Structure formats: C-alpha cells, structure tokens
Amino acid sequence: MPKPGLLSAALLFGVAAIVLVLFPLPASTDSGDGTRGPVALAHSAAEERAAPGVAAEDEEPGGQHQQQHQHGGGYKVVQWEWSYVQTPYIIAIWLLVASVAKILFHFSQRFTTVVPESCMLILLGLVLGGIVLIANKKQLYQLEPALFFLFLLPTIVGDAGYFMPARLFFDNLGAILTYAVVGTLWNSFCTGFSLYAAKVLNVIDEKVQADLMDFLLFGALISAVDPVAVLAVFEEVHVNDTLFIIVFGESLVNDAVTVVLYKVYISFVEVGPKNVQTVDYFKGVASFLIVSIGGTLVGLVFAVILGFITRFTKKVRIIEPLFVFLLVYLAYLTAELFSLSAILSMTFCGIGANKYVEANISQKSRTTVKYTMKTLASIAETIIFIFLGISAVDKSKWAWDTGLVSCTLVFIFIFRAVGVVGQTWVLNRFRLVPLDKIDQVVMSYGGLRGAVAFALVVLLDGEQVKAKDYFVATTIVVVFFTVMFQGLTIKPLVKWLKVPRSTSRKPTINEEIHERAFDHILTAVEDIAGLQGYHHWRDKWEQFDKNYLSKLLLRKSVYRKSELWEAYQKINIRDAISVIDQGGNVLTSARLSLPSMASRASFPEFTNVTNYLRENGSGVCLDLQVIDNVPGAKVEEDTETHHVLAGNLYKPRRRYQSHYSRHFMPLGEKERQDREVFQRNMKYRMESSKSTRHKRHKKERSIKKRHGSDPKEESTEKPRRNVSWHDKEPVLVPVDSEDDKAEHSEKDEDEGITFVARKVETPKPRPKSVPAAVEASSSPLASPLSRPPSVDTPLPWKGGVGSPPPCVSVEATKIIPVDLQQAWNQSISSLESISSPPAPPSADAVHPRISALSRIPGAPRPASYTPSSSSSFFSTSNTQLVQGSFLFPEKIPKEEEEDESSHELQPLMSTLKPPPPATTSAPPPPPPGSAPGQGRRKHPRVFLRSLVSAPPPGNTEPWSRGPTQL
C-alpha cells in the first residue's frame, strides 16, 4: 500500500512541522509562569527545563518585548500576551492537531479499513513525542492522570453510557456482570500470582524490586479491559451486537473492581504486607460492594434528577443539552468525590436518563446532545491515543525488563482466554442464547488494555512501589500490543472466523411492534407456567416504570403518547430523510407523501410525491433545508419558480430578524426562508404536474392536522407563521408575545413537516417510460428494502401476473449494480424454491422472466421442486430433502445440532416418508396431508401434534399455500 503510506507520511510531517513550530513557544514562556490553569496539559517538565535552553528559545518573543519597551513606556500597539492565553491556547492547539490528524487518516479509505484509527493515533503520538523530545531534550507533554480521569475519560464514558442500547445491556446484564467482576478478579489474581511466581523463579530480573503485593497491584491495574480501547477497536470491527455489548459492558462495569482492587492494594502496599489483617480483606469486599452499588446509585439518582429537570424545560429549549451534559458529568464527579466508581455512575446515569430525556427534550436538542457527545468523545479518544504515544517516548519514566514484559503479555492473554472460556461455560447454562466458541475467541482476543491502565500505573507512588518504572514500561507495552497488534488483527480474525457481524439494519416499525408483543407473550407464558423468569421481572419493571417513573419524569404531553408512537415517528422521519438523501441522484421507489398528519380518509387521492417524481423521471432533491439546483430538465422550471417566489416571499420574511432571543432558538432566519421556499417550490411543481390535484389543500390540512394532533395546543389557535404559498398577498403575521412565539417555534422545531412513507393502494409496476438504465438500477433491484439482495428479494411469485416484481420498497437505499443482477437472480430462484410450492407448469409460462432466472446454472431448480420443498419452511434440515433446495444459511449449524439430538429417530422417520425422487421436474402438488408429515420428520416428537392440531379446522395448511391462492 505505497500510496496511502506516502500520503500519510507526508501529512504526518506536515502536522509535525506545525507542532514543531508551536511547541517551543509554550515551553519557552512556560518557565517562571506558575499558573497553569486547571488543566495541567503541559507537563511539569517545563519547570525543570534547563535555563540555557529556555534563554535561547526565548530570544525571539523576548526581543519583541524589549523593542517595544525601548520604544518608550507609552501605549503599546501590539502586546504579546502569551501567558494570558497560554492554557486555553495549548488546549485548543492540541485539539486542532488531534482533529486534523483524524481528518488525515480518513483521506485514504483503503488504509483506514485495514489499520484501526487508534493504531494510527498512537503512531502519530510516537512521532510527535519523538519530535518534541528531540526539540526540547525533555518530554513536555504526557497523559496526566488527572486530565485523563477528570476530562477525557468522562466524555467517552458519558457518550457510551448515554447512547448505550439499554435493552441489550440489561438483556445481557448477567453475562456482563460475571465477566466484569469474576473475570477481572480472576485475571488480576492470576496475573499477580503468576508474575510473582515468575519473579521467584528468576524469570524476571533481580532489578525489579517487587514482592507479592506489588505484583498483585500491578495485576489489578493491568487486567481490566479498557472501555476506550474496546470502543475504538470494536467500533470498526462491527461484530454482532450481543458480542459487542458483552465486551464493552464488561469494560465499563469492571471499573468498580479495578478501582477497589487498586485502592486496596495501594493501602496494603503502604502499610506493608505484614501488617495486613484478616479484617482488611473483608473491608476490601465491603468496599467493593459500596463502590459498585454506591456508584450505580449515584448515577441513578442523577438520572432521576436529569429526567425531572428536563420535564420543565419547555420554555428554555436552548439549555436542554446543557442539562444533559452537566448532570451526566456531575454524576461522574460526585461519584469520584466519594471515591465510588465514577464510570459506573456515569454509565447508569446515561442509561437511566436516556429514555426520559429523549422523550422530554426537543428534536433539535436531541441532535445537539448527540453530536456534541459524539464530537467530544471522538476528540477525547483521539487525544488519549496520541498522548499514549507521546508518553511512551519519554524514556526517563520507564525501565525495561524483558522478562517482566513478556511474562505479563503471555499471562494476561492466557488468563483472559481461560477466564472467558470458563465463565462462558457456566453462563451458557443460564443464558437464553448461549455464546458459542467463536464468540469466546473474539471475547478473549478483544480483551484490550488501554489508557485507564496507563493512567493508573502513572499514578503509582514511586516511593512505595519500587518497581514503578518497570511497571510503567510493561503497561505501555501491553497497551500498545493489545491496541495495535490485537486491534490490527482482530478484524481479519473476525472475518476469518466468520463471526456474525452486526447488520446495519435500520429499525422498522414491525420490529418495534414484534419486540413488544413478544415480550408480552413470553411474559404471559412464563406467568402461566408459574415461573418468575427474566421476562416476568422485566414486565414488572415496565409496569413500575409506566405507573410511577414515567409519570414523574416525563412531561405530560409526552407521557400520553405510547412509545410505539414515538418509535413510529422516528422511523417515519428517518425514512423521509433517507428518501430525501437519495432524491438528488436517483429516483426512489419509495412511496412518500406529505404530510403525515393529514387525514387521508378525507382526501383519498392524497398527493403522492413519489408518483410525481417517478412520472417526471427527474432527480428531484427533496431537501428540507435548501433549494437545490436540480440539474437537467428541471432547471428551467426552477428558475421560473424562483422568479415567482422571489416576487412574493422574501420581503415580508425579513420581519423576523428583529425577534432575536437568547432563550429559545428561533428557526434560523435563512433556514425558515429556505424551508418555505422549498415547500412552495415543491408545491409549485406539483401544481404544474397533472398527477396532483389536492396539494392546494395540503398546507391547510397539515395545519389543521397539526392542531388536531395535539388538542391541548389546538386551543391556542394562534395564526401560523408558516404561510401557505397560495396566500398571494404577502402576509404579515402578528406576533403577539414572546410566549406565543416560543410556543410557535417549539412546534416548528418539533413537528415541522413530517413525511409518511405510505403505501400505494395498488401494486405499482414501474412505468415503462423510465429509461432502461434507470430501470435497471432502481426498479426491482433496488426494491429490497435496504437489505442485502441475496437474502431479501421481493418474492417473485407474488408479483402481478406478467409483470416484474412490484416495487415494494419503503426506502430504496440500495442501488444494485448491474453486475449484481446475477446474484439477485439466483436469490430469486432460491427464494422461489423455498416457499413456492410445486408451482403448476402454467406458472412458468406466466412468469417468463422468473423461469428464465431459475435456469441459471447452480440453482438446481428441479430438485427444489420436489414436493418436500413445500414444507421446507418447517422441516429444513433433512439432508435428503435439502439438496438443491433452499436452506436458511444461518440456520444450518443449529439444525445440525438438533439433528444429532433426534438422531436415533431418523431411520424411522425416513421410512415413514421416503424421500421423493430428486429428478422430478414437474411434480404434482403435495397431497394435503403431506406437510405435517414433513414437519414431523424434523422434530418428530415435539411438533407432531402442534403442527397437526394448530391450524383451526377448515383452514388449509399455511405452508401449502401457493400462488394459486394468492
């Protein structure tokens, strides 16, 4: 990879040059300046700087001073106020360097997919550290534990906690707690004792003056999996959610263990091992309970406070995000204040508050919170890794011992693996979804150590822990090894092991509904069985939440609404946005209509934007914020529109500029205008198109509907500021009072235009007029709803007769290149073979295209047409049946296991139902009773009855439904 290497090398030197210029400056004026501000970014090394060096570098600024002084004691036109701005300046420069570095790494796509960002940042840190060291002969900057624990770590943990998928986290809480507590304890003790053993056996050099307590202390700080490193590496690997949450949750929760062990050992080291009494061990255990539970409680208390406060921010939307940051951070600091587990506190504050805060604050605040948190976390992470690199360069801080380093590396790796396997073995007896071997490998390998360990080891007192320098060096090596080597190799490993990846599936309303329904169903079944299992308790919690917590923490207008509705709106907005994002380039096959609130019952021929778009065949940009220059045939129309709009839009709008308020965020003047212009623009175009008849009423409807949707606010009946386009006269809207305005703007913020992706009443094949290229790229191929085409294609046999499969996409986010058509075709044929029962020969005639597709070599259609395929939905794993027919791929391993379990019954079953001849090309339709028989073959004992008896009498078997019934 020469090019990215060269590129980044060049860029690195560029950055380095900047830094080189900047670094001496702070250093030079640093000496003699005692005030460093709260953030001790510049390391105290500056104070120890040799005076001559300073003098040499001081010359330039000093010279300026002198000249100015010589000029006369009068007013100085230009003053050099470095000491005044120093601290924030250095911080800002650091942030700048870190951010620029981040940009540079992402110049090369290919490079960043191979090398994790954290590796590059550490390398950059090494380079920067080397440069500073060469320039100053002394390391200026280092990862200060105070800086790290008070500022950098909270931003990352806050982000992680607040956006933690709560459900996933609590679903796996048992596993997370086990790994975090038992696993960390195991790691720490084993590593400590083993190192001590190595020391006794003289594998570790004599110079390392450490006894058992020191090694246990070191084991404690080195054994904890680090949240920052795990996040940085795992975010790029995209393993499946469960795996991620277990590793990441562990790295967060083990903080309590690490903190306690660290403190206990420190105190043991201080008093000396001989003076430790038995009571102290129990104190240690008690301390662990207090630190962890106390931290959690502090977090939850702050979560309640946060939820409660945001309930009342309706009038001051602008400070909503601030509350979120402040209280989450306060949760961290408060826990730190009482020396509880700050990470736990912050995590639980985030998890707990998220639901209520998100419901309470406005959409814009949500976005702000999200972006700010992500920005801060990202930059903090960058700084941490750069500083790790820089710190490593400082040779005065560490001492090397090969024995210690290699022993530590080996031990932490082995004990991590052993611990994971052992705990998983126990856990799998209780888990609903067991963790398989591959998961365990990834979990063992993903045990990354990071900056927390480094900060803790730097915090050690060199007086008491004699071997501190050795420990520092070892920690640095361990951190670098895990972050860089394991971070670099975990991606290929995950690929090689075929670890199930997380699919970037967007949530659908279906899933929301099913998730809730399944919860209820499982709870009901558990209750019927008289079990008090997981679902039972979750249901209890939800009842409690609904009856008490939500009433306390949610504002009334929100509380009334079901979460399902919230989810619906979010998904709706997301769909609309994805449609809009696409709009600029490609036609979408989504069905989109404006606005969602409108009553469709009263306007059955509701305007369908997408129809319009389709028929016009132009790339229309549906952006809410800007008027986009639509290329092509639309330009003329646009200019016309623009002229029309320019005539009656802008002047009256100016009025609003005077209404500046600091206390709420008015819709930006420009933005508001743009949005209006856009709306009018769109409507104008629709007007000009024959396909739309009712848009004239749209605005009124939306207004009406918006009022209707919130009866409480309806009563205010304030004139809208969003003026409909067809009010020909420029309308001056009376703005009554500040309150009214706030209310308006709030509504604007929160509701605005809502899109609803809407189903068309009839299947709508693509118009033939669309150019072939567009058709190929966007029509049936694009239709699978943003899912991989091979898995998820519209079931072809269901399409209208003689037509290609209808467009069924809500959001056509995937455009499939022509060269993927083959794959798509194959997936059609395979899909067809699974669920289509033996199609009558006429079906082939009706679907010429599909029958052609099915002749693709490699998709042995005839075999799939055996009668057995009709039941393959329910009996999948019988190998005799399956050859050539479709199998759900992810099911195979599981099914194999099941096969083993019912192995002894196979012969019996196969005599019961002999496998059909594989060569049948046009088999007869299955006999009515055959399907249950097939089902029986799979799980003969359990499901025999359920399959036979489940469908109510009179209904046909569901799996034997075929095209004839559709």
Residues in region 803-842 near another protein by CB under 8 A: 806, 808, 810, 835
- CB 931, CB 835: distance < 8 Å: no
Residue 692 CA to chain centroid, in angstroms?
A: 40
| Alpha-helix residue ranges (DSSP H) falling in 649-801 | 650-653, 669-688, 698-709, 711-714, 738-750, 772-778
| Among the residue ranges 108-116, 220-228, 289-297, 942-950, the one whose residues contact another protein (CB under 8 A) | 942-950
User: Of 570, 463, 949, 812, which Cα lies nearest the Cα of 562?
Assistant: 570
CB of 761 to another protein, least distance (A): 8
891 contributes a contact to another protein by CB under 8 A: yes
Q: Does 582 bind another protein (CB under 8 A)?
A: no
* Closest CB to another protein among residues 210, 597: 597
For another protein, the closer of residues 312 and 430 by Cβ is 430
Beta carbon nearer to another protein, 431 or 694 = 431
CA distance 252 to 269: 26
Q: Closer CB to another protein, residue 371 or residue 518? A: 518
Smallest distance, Å, CB 827 to another protein? 12
> Applying CB under 8 A, does 543 fall inside the site for another protein?
yes
Nearest to 170 by CA among 454, 478, 445, 545: 545
Which position has the token pair 């009571």? 279
Separation of alpha carbons 36 and 34, rounded Å: 6
Check binding of 566 to another protein (CB under 8 A): no
- Select the span of 65-73, 712-720, 846-854, 938-946 touching another protein (CB under 8 A): 938-946
Q: Write down the least CB distance from residue 271 to another protein, Å.
A: 48
Backbone phi, psi, residue 42, to 5°: -75, 130
Rounded to a whole number, what is the largest CA-CA distance in the chain?
112
Q: Does 511 bind another protein (CB under 8 A)?
A: yes
Nearer to another protein, 596 or 745 (CB): 596
Chosen residue from 401, 526, 676, 832 binding another protein by CB under 8 A: 526
Among 395, 514, 551, 654, binds another protein (CB under 8 A): 514
Task: Look up residue 42 and give its DSSP letter.
Answer: B
DSSP letter, residue 756: E
Check residue 505 for interaction with another protein (CB under 8 A).
yes
Among 504, 762, 911, 919, binds another protein (CB under 8 A): 762
Q: Verify binding: residue 568, another protein, rule CB under 8 A.
A: yes
Stretch that binds another protein, among 56-64, 217-225, 862-870, 893-901 (CB under 8 A): 893-901
Q: Which helix (H) or strand (E) holds 757?
A: strand 756-757
Write the CA distances from 318 to 553, 746, 962, integer angstroms: 19, 11, 58
Single residue of 56, 425, 958, 964 touching another protein by CB under 8 A: 958
| Pick 619 or 799: Cβ nearer another protein | 799
- From residue 379 to residue 408, what is the string marking binding to another protein with x (rule CB under 8 A)? ------------------------------
Count CB atoms within 10 A of the CB of residue 663: 11
Question: Which member of 113, 688, 901, 964 binds another protein (CB under 8 A)?
Answer: 901
Phi, psi (degrees; rounded to nearest 5) at 527: -65, -40
Our finding on whether 961 is near another protein (CB under 8 A) is yes
Window 76-95: residues binding another protein (CB under 8 A):
none
Of these, 758, 861, 936, 937, which contacts another protein (CB under 8 A)? 758
Give the interface segment with another protein, choosing from 454-462, 466-474, 523-531, 862-870 (CB under 8 A).
523-531
Of 121-129, 256-264, 554-562, 616-624: span binding another protein (CB under 8 A): 554-562
Q: How many Å apart are CA 938 and CA 783, to the nearest integer?
A: 34
Among 134, 517, 908, 922, binds another protein (CB under 8 A): 517
3-state secondary structure 772-790: HHHHHHHCCCCCCCCCCCC
**Least spacing, CB of residue 787 vs another protein, in Å:** 6
Q: Which two tokens stand for residue 332?
A: 């961290």
Question: Is 573 among the residues that bind another protein (CB under 8 A)?
Answer: no
Nearest residue (CB) to another protein, 450 versus 595: 595
Which residues, numbered 849-868, are part of the site for another protein (CB under 8 A)? none
Centroid of chain to Cα 728: 47
Return the closest-CA partner of residue 188 out of 176, 196, 199: 196
Output the smallest distance, CB 806 to another protein, in A. Answer: 6
Instruction: Give CA separation, 120 vs 98, 106, 387, 715, in Å.
Output: 11, 11, 12, 59
- Token pair, residue 324, equals 């979120």
Residues 237-276 that bind another protein (CB under 8 A): 240-242
For residue 660, the tally of other CB atoms under 10 A from its CB is: 8
Residue from 7, 319, 509, 649 touching another protein (CB under 8 A): that is 509
CB 618 within 8 A of CB 634: yes
Size of the site for another protein (CB under 8 A): 96
The residue within the footprint of another protein, chosen from 6, 513, 626, 635 (CB under 8 A), is: 513
Using CA atoms, how far apart are residues 255 and 783, in angstroms rounded to an integer? Answer: 47
- Confirm or reject binding of residue 521 to another protein (CB under 8 A): yes
b/e map 818-843, b = 16+ CB within 10 Å: eeeeeebbbbbbbbbbbbbbbbeeeb
Q: In sequence order, which residues have a C-beta less than 8 Å from that of residue 685 and are 6 or more positions away?
A: 612, 620, 637, 641
Helices (H), ranges, 106-211: 109-114, 117-136, 145-147, 153-162, 166-171, 173-177, 184-200
**Candidates 286-294, 502-510, 839-847, 908-916; binding stretch for another protein (CB under 8 A):** 502-510
User: Does 541 help bind another protein (rule: CB under 8 A)?
Assistant: no
CA distances from 746 to 108, 371, 752 (A): 42, 20, 10
Is residue 922 close enough to count as binding another protein by CB under 8 A? no
592 backbone dihedrals φ, ψ, rounded to 5°: -130, 135
Nearer to another protein, 263 or 798 (CB): 798
The rounded distance, in Å, linking the Cα atoms of 493 and 496 is 5
Interaction of residue 874 with another protein, rule CB under 8 A: yes
C-beta of 520: minimal distance to another protein in Å? Answer: 5
Looking only at residues 591 through 620 of this chain, which bind another protein when binding is defined by CB under 8 A? 591, 596, 599
Nearest CA-CA partner of 488 in 251, 250, 244, 229: 229
Nearest approach, Cβ of residue 516 and another protein (Å): 5
Helix (H) or strand (E) holding 592: strand 592-593
Site for another protein, residues 778 to 797, rule: CB under 8 A: 785, 787, 791-792, 794-795
